[in-house]
Amino acid sequence: MIDLFTRGNKTPGWNASWSKILDKHISVALQTKDTEKTFDAAFAGIDWNRLENAWKDHVKRAA
C-alpha cells in the first residue's frame, strides 16, 4: 500500500485525495501515538472499494 500512496498517481482510478493519506498517517501517529486515531484520521472519508480496486490494479501493473 505504501508504494501505491507514494507512486500511485500513475495508476488508473487514482484519487488525488489519496496522496495525503501517508502524510496524514505519519503526522497523527507522531502526535497521538494512538493507532486507532491514526487510522481513523488517515482514512477518513475514503471509498474503500475504489481504493481496493486501484490498489489491485497498481499491484498487477507492478508485477
pLDDT digits 0-9 by tens, 1-44: 888 888 888 888 899 999 999 999 999 999 999 999 999 999 99
Predicted confidence band of residue 48 (pLDDT cuts 50, 70, 90): very high
Rg of the chain's alpha carbons, rounded to an integer? 12
CA dist., res. 41 & res. 57, Å (int): 25
Q: How far is CA 50 from CA 25, 45, 56, in A?
A: 19, 12, 10
How remote is the C-alpha of 36 from its chain's centroid? Answer: 15
Domain that holds residue 50: 2-62
The domain tally of the chain equals: 1
Q: Which residues contact 52 (CB under 8 A, 6 or more apart)?
A: none
pTM of the model: 0.80
